[in-house]
Amino acid sequence: MSEVEEPELSGPPTGDMPPDQFRTVGREAVDWVAEYLESVDDYPVLARVSPGDVRGALPALPPEDGEDFDAILRDFRDVIVPGITHWNHPAFHGYFAVTGSGPGILGELLSSALNVNAMVWRSSPAGTELEELSTDWLRFLLGLPESFDGVINDTASVSSLVALAAAREANLPEAFADGLHAAPRARIYASEEAHSSIYKAGITLGLGRNGVRAIPSDDQYRMRLDLLREAIEEDVAAGIRPIAIVATLGTTSTTSVDPVGDIADVAEEFGAWLHVDSAYAGAAAMLPELRPLFSGWERADSVVLNPHKWLFTPVDCSVLYSRRPEMIRAAFSLTPEYLRTPELGKAKNLMDYGVALGRRFRALKLWFVMRYFGARGLRERIRNHCRLAAHFADRIDGETGWERAAPVPFSTVVFRWVGAGAADLDAMNMAILEEANATGRVFLSHTRLRDRTFLRLSVGNLKTGPEHMARTWDILSEARRAVQERTAATSPTS
Ligand code: PLP
């Protein structure tokens, strides 16, 4: 036997962080997290930095030699944290408010330790099966039928892209082999209030921006059924194939609810795939009193909702349900030889359900969240957010000068100042928003509706209580007074 020379073992260290050090600094990091969660209300919600500040405070090039972990944590505390807009803050009310909850954070920590990649069942049996189980649990809580099969993606944008790719596969199969060159013109229909991700999906799928036709909405920002039908009939007469309709339950601007049951009738009549985007509001289907708003979504071909929006799961986690998972597989399964395993056909291979091959173990944090809070705990927390929002809406309604844009079916209030103070109400509302956000005690965002600017307040953080809502109201009132006085002082007629 020939002697094999052992590799040279001296020289710079090549291993990972030693376990003892991991224990010590890991405890420090967990302590930091606990303290952060306890005192997050003391941080300014909106980061007080200007573009370039964070980069400018850090070395432009990486260190040649590894650094002490204390130094790394120090920069995290001193440079990174001040550059954070605190989504986990109880007074974060912008966009859709969210929570990275304790159990969710721990799930995220443990999943990164396991570091599995659930491309095929064999590469992570528990990762695959827990994704099946946790999406089944969630489906049960939402009251969707068992025929819906769930997978977890990063975002709703990707979930909707996958759903619409399946719709294209179902209704425009000519496109699979040779692309759209070989296919007739096709269209997707969505309300003018639908999320921009639907248009991005149209572009990505090769249908183009105009491949998604925006259907006008009614006075409560719900898709108009008569105009949907008219648009489809017009397209069909022109030889354009209707491949999908997107109904939004909880639109981004006002959380309006499209009439999904009636839209399902239209989808059925024209053979179009029905995709429901309930990225934010879907979680509210857990509440029996809100379930009627979702009536008809069980007829959809696919439904998306994001536990990272209103189900206390850290970003990212978006669940896509489909009653026709075989169409998703038809659109996406291409198995290279190295991924052919003996389990083919016997177990789910998550790589067949989207563009990405690899998958993070997102199910773990979702499962932790559902177990820790329980069905009743989840319902109570969502209900509480709805109550806080309803109370805020009552304040707006009861105060002269403020106006609400739309009903509040969930936990988001859209409103604006219309009282005395400015000729340009849009500019005044933006000034009120900036003034309030500059206090660091609250963060709201804005939207445009029918060419007018409105403020949006969304409740979704588990730490938000009546005291935060009262404080937010005071800050907004004070901001309004300050802007009004400033405007009066600079007005040419004053
Ligand atoms: N759909 C709706 C209704 C949304 O409100 C949003 C974002 O707010 C999205 C889709 C996109 O979500 P994501 O950031 O997960 O892609």
Q: Are 95 and 458 in contact (CB under 8 A)?
A: yes
Catalytic positions, written as ranges: 338
Outline where DSSP puts E strands in 19-158: 149-153
Q: Are 49 and 82 in contact (CB under 8 A)?
A: yes
- With a Cβ cut-off of 6 Å, ligand 1 is lined by 96, 155-157, 195, 197, 248, 251-252, 277, 279-280, 306, 318
> Helices in 271-402 by DSSP H: which ranges?
307-310, 325-332, 363-398
Strand partners, 321: 150, 303
Tens place of pLDDT for every residue, the chain, 494 residues? 557 777 666 777 789 999 999 999 999 999 999 999 999 999 999 999 999 999 999 999 999 999 999 999 999 999 999 999 999 999 999 999 999 999 999 999 999 999 999 999 999 999 999 999 999 999 999 999 999 999 999 999 999 999 999 999 999 999 998 899 889 999 999 999 999 999 999 999 999 999 999 999 999 999 999 999 999 999 999 999 999 999 999 999 999 999 999 999 999 999 999 999 999 999 999 999 999 999 999 999 999 999 999 999 999 999 999 999 999 999 998 777 777 777 777 889 999 999 999 999 999 999 999 999 999 999 999 999 999 999 999 999 999 999 999 999 999 999 999 987 767 899 999 999 999 999 999 999 999 999 999 999 999 999 999 999 999 999 999 999 999 888 877 765 54
- The H or E element spanning position 213 is strand 212-215
The radius of gyration of the chain from alpha carbons, rounded to an integer in Å, stands at: 25
Outline where DSSP puts E strands in 235-363: 241-248, 273-277, 302-305, 318-322
Residue 310: CB partners within 8 Å, gap ≥ 6? 96, 98, 280, 281, 282, 283, 284, 382, 385, 411, 460
Residue 10: CB partners within 8 Å, gap ≥ 6? none
Distance (Å) from CA 157 to ligand 1 centroid:
6
Distance (Å) from CA 483 to ligand 1 centroid:
32
Testing ligand 1's pocket by substitution, the residue of 249, 280, 305, 316 carrying the most ligand atoms inside 8 A of its CB is 280
Distance (Å) from CA 279 to ligand 1 centroid:
6
Testing ligand 1's pocket by substitution, the residue of 155, 306, 447 carrying the most ligand atoms inside 8 A of its CB is 306
Q: Which of 292, 291, 263 is nearest to 276 (CA)?
A: 263
Tokens of 23: 């224990």
Q: Which of 250, 251, 212 is nearest to 231 (CA)?
A: 212
Length of the chain: 494
